[in-house]
């Protein structure tokens, strides 16, 4: 069984990387789509926000109807990955703004059937070391989100459609892995029936909601940074910052979160979820505060701060989900995870929209990341309050 769970962890991580390449596939080719469709900056924002909106709607429906606590995880993940791959591929047909945004929205809806489900699924294989295992899953999410920027950096000059085609094929391969290779582990959660009152019970659960508030602060920062760092780096380069390849730097900044997630999981299982998340959020919030000071150089300092930010901004993410699996009623874990992620991604929609609006208003991208600073610090405060709760002893085998 021990060997089995590590095999499952590796295969699930690979499948998650492959499926989540569709998340930022359009964002990575925004310059080409903007030119092709004559988009304004605010219109271009919706190629990212449509995915977030679809994810939010789907996650909240899934939470309300308790679908993740009723149906087999592998079935949900396989169907969702297939739909995401097909919806993403529609962009290569150049269908116009409306259909393109609809395809991104459907992609987001499908991804809501993958990400929360994977988190619950992997928890059935890991009771001890759950934080580390979930850190591996978030590491996979991070790599999947970064991959379109790498594809762009090494080959998109030939055809932007290459990014879309490769990400869709990757997602369809993930669907096959979910369907035919993976199955639930020995630590299964209780089954339930559809109960719309479950959502109210989740919201009234103070320790769960404190963990959620930590996650919401984290999400205020993360996806806006991921979604707009490429534009930020291009803007810095255009003002004279000596960057050779903005796309490659963006890949490295996002991908730095992959080892960060593993580090965060290892740290949380040893010093506790609350201590680990507070430590990481303070560092990431400080990075958001400082990066504007290096907008005009020196480039080495800009790159160092950006990489530290990328390393820490996502490193705590899995621990909020791990906390929910430990603090929640065990018959509502899937619903609680879907609710956490649904609200968290709803927050990202507003912040992703806000940053380019602020850049246009200020006439520069230099200081826009200051908008992200309150999120991680308020999230850290929430986790400090959670640590004072008696039920926080359920976290990380009593390590809080």
* pLDDT tens-place string over residues 98-107: 898 999 999 9
Where the chain has pLDDT below 70, the residues are: 1-3, 148, 152, 155-158, 189-196, 396, 398
**Model pLDDT, residue 143:** 79
pLDDT of 158 reads 56
The 10 Å Cβ neighbour count of residue 288 is 23
pLDDT value, residue 111: 93
Q: What is the pLDDT of residue 155?
A: 60
Does a structural domain hold residue 175?
Answer: yes
Please check whether residue 332 lies inside any domain of the structure.
yes
Tell the residue number behind the tokens 């295969």, with chain if given.
11
Q: Does residue 288 sit within a domain?
A: yes
Count of the separate structural domains present in the chain: 1
Indicate whether 286 belongs to any domain.
Answer: yes
Asked if residues 189 and 331 have their Cβ atoms less than 8 Å apart, the reply is: yes
Quote the pTM value.
0.81
348: in domain: yes
| pLDDT at residue 1, as a whole number | 44
pLDDT of the residue at 3:
47
State residue 382's pLDDT score.
Answer: 95
pLDDT of residue 135: 85
Give me the pLDDT at residue 253, please.
94
Closest CA to 232 of 257, 253, 218, 260: 253
pLDDT recorded at residue 35: 82
| Structural domain contains residue 400 | no
Domain membership flag for residue 271:
yes
CA atoms within 13 A on the CB side of 109: 14
Q: What is the DSSP string of 299-311?
A: HHHHHHHHHHHHH
Contact 140, 133 (CB under 8 A): no
Whether 138 is covered by a domain: the verdict is yes
CATH value at residue 335:
1.20.1250.20
Which residues span the domain enclosing 72? 2-395
């Amino acid at each position: 069984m021990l060997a089995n769970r590590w095999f499952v962890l590796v295969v699930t991580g690979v499948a998650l990387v492959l499926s989540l390449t569709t998340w930022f596939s359009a964002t990575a080719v925004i310059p080409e789509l903007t030119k092709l469709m004559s988009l304004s900056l605010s219109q271009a924002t919706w190629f990212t926000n449509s995915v977030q909106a679809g994810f939010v709607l789907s996650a909240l429906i899934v939470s309300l109807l308790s679908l993740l606590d009723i149906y087999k995880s592998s079935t949900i993940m396989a169907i969702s990955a297939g739909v995401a791959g097909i919806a993403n591929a529609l962009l290569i047909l150049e269908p116009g703004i409306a259909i393109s945004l609809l395809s991104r929205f459907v992609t987001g809806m499908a991804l809501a059937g993958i990400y929360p489900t994977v988190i619950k699924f992997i928890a059935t294989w890991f009771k001890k070391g759950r934080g580390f295992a979930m850190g591996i899953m978030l590491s996979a999410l991070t790599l999947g989100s970064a991959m379109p920027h790498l594809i762009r950096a090494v080959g998109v000059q030939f055809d932007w459609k290459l990014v879309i085609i490769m990400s869709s094929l990757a997602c369809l391969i993930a669907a096959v892995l979910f369907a035919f290779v993976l199955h639930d582990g020995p630590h299964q959660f209780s089954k339930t029936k559809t109960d719309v009152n479950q959502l109210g019970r989740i919201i009234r659960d103070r320790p769960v909601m404190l963990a959620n508030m930590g996650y919401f602060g984290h999400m205020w920062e993360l996806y806006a940074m991921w979604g707009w760092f490429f534009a930020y780096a291009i803007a810095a380069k255009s003002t004279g910052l000596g960057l050779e390849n903005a796309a490659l730097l963006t890949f490295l900044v996002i991908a730095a979160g992959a080892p960060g997630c593993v580090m965060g999981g290892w740290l949380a299982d040893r010093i506790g979820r609350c201590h680990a998340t507070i430590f990481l959020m303070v560092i990431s919030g400080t990075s958001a505060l400082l990066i504007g000071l290096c907008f005009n150089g020196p480039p080495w300092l800009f790159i160092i701060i950006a990489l530290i930010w990328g390393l820490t901004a996502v490193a705590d993410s899995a621990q909020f989900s791990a906390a929910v699996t430990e603090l929640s009623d065990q018959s509502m874990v899937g619903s609680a995870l879907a609710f956490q992620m649904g609200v968290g991604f709803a927050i990202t929609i507003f912040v992703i929209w806000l940053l380019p609006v602020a850049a246009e208003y200020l006439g520069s991208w230099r200081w826009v990341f200051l908008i992200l600073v309150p999120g991680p610090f308020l999230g850290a405060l929430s986790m400090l309050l959670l640590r004072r709760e008696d039920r926080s002893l359920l976290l990380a085998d009593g390590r809080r």
